Structure 1
Amino acid sequence: IEKFEILLKSDRIDLKELKNLAFNGCPSDNGIRSLTWKILLNYLLLDRTQWASHLAKQRELYRGYIRETIIQPGLKSTSLSDIVDHPLSSAPDSSWTAYFKENEILLQIDKDVRRLCPDLCFFQRKTDYPCAEIMNQEIGFENLRKRIVSTSLKVESQSQSRLTGRLEFQSNQILRKNKTNSSNFISDDNEYEVLADGCEAHWEVVERILFVFSKLNSGQSYVQGMNEIIGPIYYTFATDPNVEWRGKIKRTYVS
């Protein structure tokens, strides 16, 4: 522990020496593991004197990502000013086509992160640092939580009839009603506590990070299992004993 503390307090951190120390594991005492991971993952620079300016730049960059990928589409989805580009438009360049495709990815991310590390209640708790850029939006703004709810209500499951070969559609409400009649069925509606407006659970923060990542990396997008990778990283950063670091991690793009 002493070797870690001496190295991490240096003005210029020796990356090779840090890797050698961390090879057999990092102690969690005094936030050593959190700080070591941040350096090894290029979250922090090796020069300690540049940490403040670097983090400020990265936080502003993340705010820009949020405005571009979440806030602007959320405001546009509730706007009636654009008559040409509408949800039923079949134009190949329609922004609504991309919007609906993104919803499919968002639903998969939501399904995965809700069950992230089920042995820990941490991810179901609300964070003390909700995203102000999203929470301070005007009434009618469609955040990811509302977007998921509205998408889930509109999604219909389709099955092919063996007799006619036609597609038969059945709404989720009917499916849910049928499942409720089963004694072994547990409703998803009661599985997780719904937080009040203005609050965010930790899994929602992870969801936002993964969604922003999928939009910025459209070629790779989201792959199932990414939530299991970012989960331990986020948990380690978000439980840093240093309160200042905990506040910064909620406002910085960590993917």
Structure 2
Amino acid sequence: MVSRREKMLSNVLIFALFGHRLTVHVLVAQLLLCYLPNDRALWEQDLAKKRSQYEAFKDEFLSNTVGGNSTIRGPEGHSGGNAEHVQNGSLDRSEIAQDEHPLSLGKTKEWNQFVENSEMIEQVDRDVKRTHPDMHFFCGDSSFAKSNQESLKNILIIFAKLNAGIRYVQGMNEILAPLFFVFRNDPDYKNANFAEADSFFCFVELLSGLRDNFCQKLDNSAVGIQGTLSKLMQLLRKYDGELQHHLEIKTEVNPQFYAFRWITLLLTQEFNFADTIHIWDTLLSNPDGPQETLLRICCAMLILVRKRLLAGDFTSNLKLLQSYPPTNIGHLLYIANKLQ
């Protein structure tokens, strides 16, 4: 039976061959991440609905962030009876009840929530400003770059507030960046203008299959990041037992030292931006899903430099894997595809 993902991929190939108003990259992301329905006739209606929903999220979750001018909302998004007004990132002292004062022994849930949100927003702001500092699209003094930074911040803050079990984890900005870059550069300006909304929903879908890697409570479980790293070593042992033994046993270069970043950031820090997008085409289009494909690519990365690793010690191997050398991406993906 043909899976929905395979049907989506066939649609992408058809539109690529005969031409369509969206770029192939945009189609790959939006179709394979299930943002667009399989039925092309429903696209316009579905897009309008989701873009409207995103605007509602912005109204609900961004109107009360640090720097805003409205009230702090409770868990359901409604203003409480003792609402605290936020002005320029600080609370008006006269409007803070005694038991909500930061020096009070009886800190309330509302105050703790405000502090937690403030810290999260500050972290998002710092990380967004550090996103691809070499690209004018993300950094610089231009109004375009600042607008793009603001969109990234909006998406990450809304995601954090809608996903209390995960919230924001450092590095999510790097995962969001390729999606937003592709959507914002859509040749159709009508779609490009909705890049923020479209990126948000695709970002959510992408992380839905990888969320266990970001959940701290699951770190040491079979489905958490440690379990994922173990799967990587099992895969390497299957195809190159000598290399796996040399890394883990002989030189004690554990995957936590290098592959933690590879996996949690979806290889966005190991390759240049164009190569990252090329790799992501493979991650999104593989019927096995991004996680299994990602592990095969990581395993292929180790195999590609096996001679240098086998000749190296702890220090040289760690340096090599934490700063992966320039690679022919086509060759890398070819090797990864053979690790079935």
- CA distance in structure 1 between the aligned counterparts of 2:151 and 2:101, rounded to whole angstroms: 28
Structure 1 residue 105, shift from structure 2 partner? 1.3
What is residue 159 of structure 2 aligned with on the other side?
A: 213
Unaligned runs of 5+ in 1: 1-13, 125-191
The CA distance in 2 between the partners of 1:64 and 1:201, in whole Å, is 20
Q: What is the match of residue 158 of structure 1? A: none
1:31 aligned residue (18, 23, 38): 23
What does residue 125 of structure 2 align with?
110
Deviation per CA, 1:129-160, whole angstroms, max 9, x where unpaired?
Answer: xxxxxxxxxxxxxxxxxxxxxxxxxxxxxxxx
Q: What is the aligned counterpart of 1:246 among 185, 192, 214? A: 192
> Hey, what does 2:42 align to over in structure 1?
50
Q: 1:89 to 1:50 in 2, by over 3 A?
A: farther
Among 166, 170, 176, the alignment partner of 1:224 is 170
Task: Please say if residues 12 and 24 of structure 2, whose CA atoms lie closer than 8 Å, have aligned partners that are also in contact.
Answer: no
CA contact (8 A) 1:15 1:46 kept: no
Counterpart in the other structure of 2:141:
193
Shift of 1:205: 0.7
User: TM-score under structure 2 normalisation?
Assistant: 0.44
Q: Which amino acid aligns with 1:201?
A: S
Q: Which has the higher contact order (CA 8 A, sep 6+)?
A: 1
Q: 1:119 to 1:194 in 2, by over 3 A?
A: closer
Q: Which residue of 1 aligns with 2:61?
A: 69
Percent identity at matched positions?
29
Residue 53 of structure 2 aligns to which amino acid in structure 1? L
Residue 132 of structure 2 aligns with an amino acid whose one-letter code is C
Question: Could you tell me which amino acid in structure 1 is paired with residue 6 of structure 2?
Answer: K
Q: Indicate the structure with greater helix content.
A: 2
Write the distance in 2 (CA, Å) between the matches of 1:40 and 1:203: 26
CA deviations on 1:7-50 (whole Å, 9 max, x unpaired) are xxxxxxx7415437979xx99x9611112211111221111222
Q: CA deviation at 1:101?
A: 1.1
Report Cα offsets for 1:135-187 as digits up to 9, x if no partner: xxxxxxxxxxxxxxxxxxxxxxxxxxxxxxxxxxxxxxxxxxxxxxxxxxxxx
Task: Quickly say closer, same or farther: Cα 1:21–1:119, change in 2 above 3 A.
Answer: farther
Structure 2 residue corresponding to 1:122, chosen from 106, 130, 137? 137
Q: Write the distance in 2 (CA, Å) between the matches of 1:219 and 1:226.
A: 15
Matched, 1:41 2:33: yes
Is 81-90 or 228-237 further displaced after alignment?
Answer: 81-90
Distance of 2:157 and 2:97 partners within structure 1: 27
Q: 1:16 is aligned with what amino acid? A: E
Per-residue deviation at 1:209?
A: 0.4
Alpha-carbon RMSD: 3.4
Give, in angstroms, the shift of residue 53 of structure 1. 1.9
CA distance, structure 2, for counterparts of residue 94 and residue 105 of structure 1: 16
1:16 corresponds to which residue? Answer: 6
After superposition, the C-alpha distances for 1:39-76 in whole angstroms (9 at most, x for unaligned) are 11122111122222212221222122112211145312
Q: Distance in 2 between matches of 1:35 and 1:202?
A: 21
The alpha carbon displacement at 1:84 in A equals 2.9
Confirm whether residue 84 of structure 1 aligns to residue 110 of structure 2. Answer: no
